[in-house]
Structure 1
Amino acid sequence: MPQLTTPTARVRTSFLKAMREFADENDAWFNGNSMISEEIRRYGDVWEEPEGFAGYVADVVAAADPATERPAGWVPATVLWYVEGDEWLGRLAIRHAYTPHLLEYGGIVGYEVRPSARRRGHATAMLRAALPVAARLGFERVLVTCDHDNTGSRKVIEACGGVFDDQRGVKLRYWVPTGGPSPAG
């Protein structure tokens, strides 16, 4: 059964196949604004070698540590991979704080499912499994966004309890309850 897990080098072969699927699907993954496109720009040249991939995995795990250096405007983020055995199916990031950009467009939770694993409920399962993690990080609800024309992602968000807030540019904004405690008032 697939599950969210801390990134691990043991899924390297499947991960590399997934990255080729993203490349074959659309150049936007490599030149766009997604989490994957950012990682491809930063690490794509080192993934092929086991040592390079292990370094990448260590950096991804370290992203949750507030002491880790990061680009200006970036916040700590817990990155989890969705895997079944040694098969990499997708990734999910839970950012630890809002920035003006995240509050406007990016949201707190972002997810991506490899092309060959889509339309099987993985994104919904990933987001559902991430909500308790977000609650442990102190979020009562999280902002999750998707492009206005991404019907699949919209359905995922709504299936996880997302309540539509508004549209800003091409982004639809939803608030998803985490089941965490309400802040003291």
Structure 2
Amino acid sequence: MPELIDPTVRLRTSFLAAVAEFHAASDRPVPWFVSDVDPAALTDPGAFAGYVERVLAERTEAGMRTDAGVPMTTLWWAEGNELLGRLAIRHRLTPHLERVGGHIGYDVRPGARRRGHATAMLAAALPVAAALGVTGALLTCDDANTVSRRVIEANGGRLLTVDGRKLRYLVPTA
């Protein structure tokens, strides 16, 4: 049964396969976490260990990504040694994240889509967000992204606003 786990070197082969799937998929833009990595460099186990260490450090003020502007907890949705998706919980919001991005962003690898992983992954992340002090998670999606809308609404998301083509939802974390 899939579960949210901390990023781990154990999933290097599956992570790299997922990155290749994201690059090969033409139905959606490549997620930022995929465009942020050099797959060729990460084939080296030491380099991948450094990548995992960096992602885990992003949970702290000292280790946060400068382009994110907030600490975030990245978790991987995995079953055994297979990475099915990834999710990031932003500990707080900047004005930009309030408009685009929100508290939680998630991606399911193309080969694992349409199996309910995004809905289950978000449901599993809500208690983690609550433990981080997020009392109501803001999630955003494009108005044309009906799949993401269904995922958010299945997890109790209540539509707050429509800003251009962005929908903003409040999802309870408790």
Contact in 2 for aligned 1:7/1:79 (Cα 8 Å): yes
After superposition, the C-alpha distances for 1:42-85 in whole angstroms (9 at most, x for unaligned) are x4442121111111011001100122153155210000000000
Partner AA of 2:9 in structure 1: A
Classify the secondary structure of the residue corresponding to 2:100.
helix
Distance 2:68 2:126 in 1: 24
Distance 2:76 2:64 in 1: 22
Structure 1 residue 166: deviation in Å? 1.3
* Partner residue of 1:75 out of 51, 70, 74: 70
Contact in 1 for aligned 2:58/2:72 (Cα 8 Å): yes
Partner AA of 1:36 in structure 2: F
Classify the secondary structure of the residue corresponding to 1:52.
helix
Report the equivalent of 1:28.
29
Partner AA of 1:35 in structure 2: W
Q: Report the TM-score, using the length of structure 2 for normalisation.
A: 0.94
Contact in 2 for aligned 1:28/1:37 (Cα 8 Å): no
How many residues are matched?
A: 173
Gapped regions of structure 2 (runs ≥ 5): none
Q: Report the TM-score, using the length of structure 1 for normalisation.
A: 0.89
Computed over aligned residues only, the root mean square deviation of the Cα atoms, in angstroms, reads: 1.4
Dislocated runs of 4+, deviation >6 Å = none
Report the equivalent of 1:183.
none
Percent identity over the alignment?
54
| 1:99-138 equivalence runs, <5 A | 99-138=94-133
Cα 1:105–1:86 change in 2 (3 A) is same
Distance 2:68 2:14 in 1: 31
- In the alignment, does 2:11 pair up with 1:16? no
Contact in 2 for aligned 1:105/1:168 (Cα 8 Å): no
Gapped regions of structure 1 (runs ≥ 5): 180-185
Contact in 1 for aligned 2:157/2:172 (Cα 8 Å): yes
Structure 1 residue 36: deviation in Å? 2.2
Report the equivalent of 1:39.
36
